[in-house]
């Protein structure tokens, strides 16, 4: 194969990638398998965009070009079809034998790539992307053998693949009921169409700018079913310690839709599971996790099938909410990143409580970091077209860069302030959770977008929080408390009482010689509010100290103060406040401010 033909092939791959990117919305609309979450087009587009961004036409050999495509695909792969597609590219690059003629090498590699794609799936199904990959690869080989022309073989294989694509709507019950072809299969067909058009005709696919129309909502499918497992999880793991077969067998026990790309040196995993935190614990004990992403399919399904409101409420995982509140009221939560020794976890998603409790006692370093740009952008993209308005309630900007990050991403995307507003809660933990709870109540009561934004800005000033800290050291290390005050309190062996200033900064407001005394002092403050009929509602939270939280609830109840709920603290709060900390938060009546 000469240099010109080699460049044509790689340009054909990029042409096919652009064709898939351009068809993102169409593929999302027909996505009903394996889960009707309307994201197959987005996932394949993310994969192809990574290839377009990272692959250069200036390569020395065909194999080098295929390896570049494969490497980019592993990085960009998302979702079931994206993972299978990436495995197909990996098969092409790893099986391509440069000692053969180009036609022989490519045809042989394509057949092996199809086999590797099947091997990547624990329970491969016909009538999916796998079927059309197989048909294209086999037909390409047959045509080369009989006609001897690569271009003619490409055209014939494309036609045969189109027939295979049409057959997918009759091969699976859910596709037949919806009268749809498989979205992943159609994505592969669009890819080989772009490839064929360029190699055979020199036709270039244009990069179409994606316009956003509030009315262009992804169509939902009436026959779609709620996902069996709640979370779509993806991980990249390096240097696996155990055998690959054992590794795969154990992964399979965590859920379904398992797709594995790579080997023990580096593997990318896609799985639907109810236990992303337990899975993460297994992964970090058997290798180095370098990437993780967890999407709430159950929440996405409920929003698609049973939307609660036209205004979305978004917060970050530092907001402590009652268990199940986010799913019941369709609250979107951006996970903070937890940095524990050399590992990174997603707050409330991939860190298991027992593991965290152990690390609080043994880790040499623990800290938190704001959500990634990619996570924020992905959520904003998901919200577009699904909601008339969006309200984001962030942790205090004095405690985290999350508020600034979200504001910057909104500005970067040129999102209209009449569509989305970000509120600096100037709160954290259960106090921030109370503000989110009130926001949900306002939305569900039917108040307007601008009324709610105005109300929340005022409401945040009426919410208080007091923390009875068992160990001040984590707060000093995280910068929540000024070092000179914290060190002074430590030298006196006292247990501090911490609150927030009006601007949302941590402040030391008192101290005791035991946490029990701190709780008694805070209780007197709450009793004062109650005596003056200022209290609207009260919540408690704790860091692995539920018995003490229940005892405090009883203590307040004996004073006729109702605690609405006891909430487990987020891992982010556990890291900053420390083991066994307790906190109370409440809302004061407006007329008393």
Q: Candidates 3.40.190.10, 3.90.1170.20, 3.90.79.10, 3.30.1180.10; correct CATH number of 462-592?
A: 3.30.1180.10
pLDDT digit of tens for each residue in the chain (593 aa)?
555 556 788 899 999 999 999 999 899 888 766 655 567 888 898 889 989 988 888 777 889 999 999 989 888 887 778 888 988 999 999 999 989 988 999 999 999 999 988 987 877 888 899 999 999 999 999 999 887 789 999 999 999 999 999 998 888 777 778 788 889 899 999 999 999 999 998 888 776 544 323 223 233 333 357 889 999 999 989 899 999 999 999 999 999 989 888 888 888 899 999 999 999 999 999 999 988 999 999 999 999 889 999 999 999 999 999 999 999 999 999 999 898 887 889 999 999 988 998 888 888 878 888 888 888 988 998 899 899 999 999 999 999 889 989 999 998 889 999 999 999 999 999 999 999 999 999 999 999 999 999 999 999 999 999 999 887 666 666 555 566 666 666 676 678 889 999 999 988 888 888 899 999 999 999 999 999 999 999 999 999 999 999 999 999 999 999 999 999 999 888 888 888 999 999 999 986 44
Calpha distance 185→193 (Å, rounded)? 12
402 closest CA partner among 331, 463, 333: 333
Q: What is the pLDDT of residues 315-358, one digit of tens each?
A: 999 999 999 999 999 999 999 989 888 788 999 999 998 899 88
* Sequential DSSP letters for 274-297: S-HHHHHHHHHTTSEEEEEEEEEH
- Beta strands 420-424 and 389-394 are parallel
In terms of CATH, what superfamily is 3-201? DhaL domain (1.25.40.340)
CB-CB contact of 188 with 85 (8 Å): yes
In the chain, count of helices (H) and strands (E)? 24, 17
Calpha distance 355→432 (Å, rounded)? 25
The CA–CA distances, whole Å, from 589 to 216, 331, 456, 538, 560 equal 42, 25, 14, 12, 17
The total of other beta-carbon atoms located within 10 Å of residue 91's CB is 27
| Domain boundaries, given as residue ranges, for the chain | 3-201, 462-592
Tokens 């054992």 belong to residue: 246
The CA–CA distances, whole Å, from 111 to 16, 116, 118, 143, 215 equal 19, 9, 11, 13, 43
pLDDT for the residue numbered 592: 46
Q: What is the pLDDT of residues 99-137, one digit of tens each?
A: 998 899 999 999 999 998 898 787 788 889 999 999 999
* Cβ neighbours for 450, distance < 8 A, ≥ 6 positions apart: none
174 closest CA partner among 225, 220, 226: 225
Calpha distance 145→365 (Å, rounded)? 61
């Amino acid at each position: 194969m000469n240099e010109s033909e080699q460049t044509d092939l790689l340009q054909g791959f990029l042409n096919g990638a652009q064709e898939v990117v351009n068809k993102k919305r169409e593929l999302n609309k027909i996505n009903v398998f394996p889960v009707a979450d309307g994201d197959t087009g987005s996932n394949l587009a993310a994969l192809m965009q990574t290839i377009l961004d990272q692959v250069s036409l200036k390569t020395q050999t065909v194999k080098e070009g295929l390896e570049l495509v494969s490497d980019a695909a592993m990085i960009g792969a998302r979702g079931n079809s994206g993972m299978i597609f990436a495995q197909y590219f990996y098969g092409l690059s790893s099986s391509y034998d440069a000692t053969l003629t180009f036609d022989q090498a490519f045809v042989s590699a394509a057949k092996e790539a199809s086999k590797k794609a099947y091997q990547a799936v624990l329970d491969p199904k016909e009538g999916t992307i796998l079927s059309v990959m197989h048909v294209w690869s086999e037909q390409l080989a047959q045509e080369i053998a009989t006609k001897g022309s690569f271009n003619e073989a490409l055209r014939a294989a494309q036609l045969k693949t189109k027939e295979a694509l049409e057959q997918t709507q009759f091969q699976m019950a859910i596709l037949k009921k919806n009268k749809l072809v498989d979205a992943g299969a159609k994505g592969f067909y669009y890819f080989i169409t772009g490839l064929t058009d360029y190699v055979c005709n020199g036709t270039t696919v244009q990069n179409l700018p994606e316009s956003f129309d509030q009315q262009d909502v992804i169509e939902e499918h009436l026959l779609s079913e709620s996902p069996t497992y709640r979370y779509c999880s993806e991980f990249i793991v390096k240097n696996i310690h155990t055998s690959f077969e054992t590794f795969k067998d154990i992964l399979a026990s965590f859920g379904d839709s398992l797709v594995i790309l790579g080997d023990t040196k580096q593997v990318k995993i896609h799985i639907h599971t109810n236990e992303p935190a337990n899975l993460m614990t297994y992964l970090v004990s058997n290798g180095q996790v370098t990437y993780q992403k967890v999407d709430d399919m159950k929440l996405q399904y409920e929003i698609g099938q049973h939307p609660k409101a036209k205004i979305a409420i978004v917060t970050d995982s530092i907001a402590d909410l009652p268990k199940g509140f986010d799913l019941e009221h369709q609250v979107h939560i951006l996970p903070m990143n937890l940095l524990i020794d050399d590992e990174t976890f997603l707050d409330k998603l991939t860190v298991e409580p027992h593991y965290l409790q152990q690390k609080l006692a043994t880790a040499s370093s623990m800290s938190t970091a704001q959500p990634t740009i990619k996570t924020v952008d992905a959520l904003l993209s998901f919200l577009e077209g699904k909601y008339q308005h969006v309200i984001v309630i962030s942790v205090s900007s004095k405690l985290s860069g999350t508020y600034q990050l979200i504001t910057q991403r909104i500005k970067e995307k040129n999102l209209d302030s009449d569509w989305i507003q970000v509120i600096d809660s100037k709160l954290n933990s259960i106090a921030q959770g109370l503000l989110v709870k009130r926001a949900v109540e306002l939305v569900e009561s039917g108040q307007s977008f601008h009324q709610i934004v105005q109300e929340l800005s005022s409401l945040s000033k009426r919410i208080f929080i007091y923390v009875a800290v068992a160990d001040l050291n984590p707060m000093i290390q995280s910068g929540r408390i000024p070092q000179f005050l914290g060190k002074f309190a430590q030298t006196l062996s006292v247990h501090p009482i911490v609150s927030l200033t009006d601007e949302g900064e941590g402040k030391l407001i008192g101290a005791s010689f035991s946490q029990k005394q701190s709780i008694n002092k805070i209780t007197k403050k709450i009793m004062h509010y109650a005596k003056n009929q200022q209290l609207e509602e009260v919540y408690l939270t704790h860091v692995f100290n539920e018995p003490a939280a229940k005892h405090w609830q009883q203590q307040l109840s004996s004073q006729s103060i109702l605690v609405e709920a006891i909430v487990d603290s987020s891992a982010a709060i556990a890291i900053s406040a420390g083991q066994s900390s307790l906190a109370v938060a409440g809302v004061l009546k407006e007329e008393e401010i």
